[in-house]
C-alpha cells in the first residue's frame, strides 16, 4: 500500500489562527445523540472523542448554547456548571492524547419542537415561518413546531447566550470555539432573506440580516481573543428544514465574509454544496470566489474523499479538510488515509442513540500489514 504522505502535506503540521495542529485532517461536528436529557457529557463521550484524538483538530458535535437553543433530544449543552464539568473531562483527556478540540456553539432557532423547549414554548426564529422536516425528540422523530418571531428587544439576549456559552467553553478547557452559522439554524435563518422577513434593524438589507451574526462574532471574540474563534457557513445548503437559499447568495455571503475579516478569526469552515448530500452548487454561485475573500485559514467540508482533499490542497483552495461520517466508523481515520487502508462505512442506524453500539466499538486498523512508514497506530 502506498504512503500518501509523500504526495501531500495533508498529514503535516499546520496552524489555524493560534491553534497548532499535527495535521490538516479535521473531524467535522457530528451529532450522535449520546448525552443525557440535561445535556451533560459522560464517560462514553470521553472515550469516543479520545479514540479520534489523532485528528489535527476535532470540532465538537454541535452544542446547545441554552435551553432555548435546543432542537434535538440527547444533545450536549454548554450553559450549566454540570455541562462544563462534563466537557472538561473530555478536553483534558484529548489533550493528554495529544489532540486539539474546539467547541461548536449552536442555536437551532426554528428547527425545534415544543417538547424540546422550556415550558413547551414555541421555538424562536427571525420570522414566524415554519421549517419542513422532523427533529429527534424523546418520542422519536416529530415534525418541527411553528416558531415565533423574536422581538427586537430579545435579540441582545441571544447574543448574551452565545457570550455565556463561549465563557463556559473556555472554562471547560477547549482550544477555541466555532460559531455554527450554517445548516439553516438560527444565525443563518437571520442571514437569508428566505427565512428573514423582518422590518427592523435585523431584517431587509444584507447589512441588517448579517447584523446578528456579526454581533455574535464580536461577543465571542471578545471572550476568546484573536485566532481562537472559527465560523461555519453553508451558502448553498438547503439542509436542515428544506430551507430555500438566499435570493442573492454571492452578494449576501460576500458582504458577510468581508465583514468577518476584521475579527481575525482562526478559520472559515465552509460546507461546499448541500450538507451531507452533494458537492454541486448553483451556476450563479462561486464558492471559491467567496472563500478567496476571507483573509484567514479555510477548512473545506462536504463529501470529501482523499483524492478530492489532495487535489484541493494542491490547488491551494483549502488549508485543512473536514471529514464527518468517515470518523464515525474509522476512529483512526488519519492513519487510514495516510496509509491507504480501506475505510469502514457505518450504517445509518448507528448514527444516533444506541449507547456504546456503533459509537465506541469501531476497531482501529491492523497496521502490521502495511509499510513500516505507516506502522504508527
Please give the positions annotated as active site.
Answer: 185
Closest CA to 29 of 96, 103, 87, 100: 103
Are residues 15 and 309 in contact, defined by beta-carbon separation less than 8 angstroms?
no
Cβ-count burial 284-316 (b if 16+ within 10 Å, e if not): ebebeebbeebebbbbbbbbbebebbbebbeee
Pairing of strands 19-21, 14-16: antiparallel
Residue 88 exposed, middle or buried by CB count within 10 Å (0-12, 13-18, 19+): middle
Are residues 27 and 55 in contact, defined by beta-carbon separation less than 8 angstroms?
yes
**Residue corresponding to grid cell 451558502:** 235
To 5 degrees, how large is the angle CA 17–CA 23–CA 24?
Answer: 65
Closest CA to 363 of 336, 323, 338: 336
Helix (H) or strand (E) holding 90: helix 81-96
- Provide DSSP, 170-233: HHTT-S-EEEEE-TTSHHHHHH-TTT----STTSSSHHHHTHHHHHHHHHHHHHH-TTSEEEEE
To 5 degrees, how large is the angle CA 45–CA 50–CA 53?
Answer: 135
Omega before residue 346 within 30° of 0, cis = no
- 203: which 3 cell numbers? 431584517
Round to whole Å and give the CA distance between 338 and 328. Answer: 17
Round to whole Å and give the CA distance between 361 and 351. Answer: 13
Amino acid at each position: 500500500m502506498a504512503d500518501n504522505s509523500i504526495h501531500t502535506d495533508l498529514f503535516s503540521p499546520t496552524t489555524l489562527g493560534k491553534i497548532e495542529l499535527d495535521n490538516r485532517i479535521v473531524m467535522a461536528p457530528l451529532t450522535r445523540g449520546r448525552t443525557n436529557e440535561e445535556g451533560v457529557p459522560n464517560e462514553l463521550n470521553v472515550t469516543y472523542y479520545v479514540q479520534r484524538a489523532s485528528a489535527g483538530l476535532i470540532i465538537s458535535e454541535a452544542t446547545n448554547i441554552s435551553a432555548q437553543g435546543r432542537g434535538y433530544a440527547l444533545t450536549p449543552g454548554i450553559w450549566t456548571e454540570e455541562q462544563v464539568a462534563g466537557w472538561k473531562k473530555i478536553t483534558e483527556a484529548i489533550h493528554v492524547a495529544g489532540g486539539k478540540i474546539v467547541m461548536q456553539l449552536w442555536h437551532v432557532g426554528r428547527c425545534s419542537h415544543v417538547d424540546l423547549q422550556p415550558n413547551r414554548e414555541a421555538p424562536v426564529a427571525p420570522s414566524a415561518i415554519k421549517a419542513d422536516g422532523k427533529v429527534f425528540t424523546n418520542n422519536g422523530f416529530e415534525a418541527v413546531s411553528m416558531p415565533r418571531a423574536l422581538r427586537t428587544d430579545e435579540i441582545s439576549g441571544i447574543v448574551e447566550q452565545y457570550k455565556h456559552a463561549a465563557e463556559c467553553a473556555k472554562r471547560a478547557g477547549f482550544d477555541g470555539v466555532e460559531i455554527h452559522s450554517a445548516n439553516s439554524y438560527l444565525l443563518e435563518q437571520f442571514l437569508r432573506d428566505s427565512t428573514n422577513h423582518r422590518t427592523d434593524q435585523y431584517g431587509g438589507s444584507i447589512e441588517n440580516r448579517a447584523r446578528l451574526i456579526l454581533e455574535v462574532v464580536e461577543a465571542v471574540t471578545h471572550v476568546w481573543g484573536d485566532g481562537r474563534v472559527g465560523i461555519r457557513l453553508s451558502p448553498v445548503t438547503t439542509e436542515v428544514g428544506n430551507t430555500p437559499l438566499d435570493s442573492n447568495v454571492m452578494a449576501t455571503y460576500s458582504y458577510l465574509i468581508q465583514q468577518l475579516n476584521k475579527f481575525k478569526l482562526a478559520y472559515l469552515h465552509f460546507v461546499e454544496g448541500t450538507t451531507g448530500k452533494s458537492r454541486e452548487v448553483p451556476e450563479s454561485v462561486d464558492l471559491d470566489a467567496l472563500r478567496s475573500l476571507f483573509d484567514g485559514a479555510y477548512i473545506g467540508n462536504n463529501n470529501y474523499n482523499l483524492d478530492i482533499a489532495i487535489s484541493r490542497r494542491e490547488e491551494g483552495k483549502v488549508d485543512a479538510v473536514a471529514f464527518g461520517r468517515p470518523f464515525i466508523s474509522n476512529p483512526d481515520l488519519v492513519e487510514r488515509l495516510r496509509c491507504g487502508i480501506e475505510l469502514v462505512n457505518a450504517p445509518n442506524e448507528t448514527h444516533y442513540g444506541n449507547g456504546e453500539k456503533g459509537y465506541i466499538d469501531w476497531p482501529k486498523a491492523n497496521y502490521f500489514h502495511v509499510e513500516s512508514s505507516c506502522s504508527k497506530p
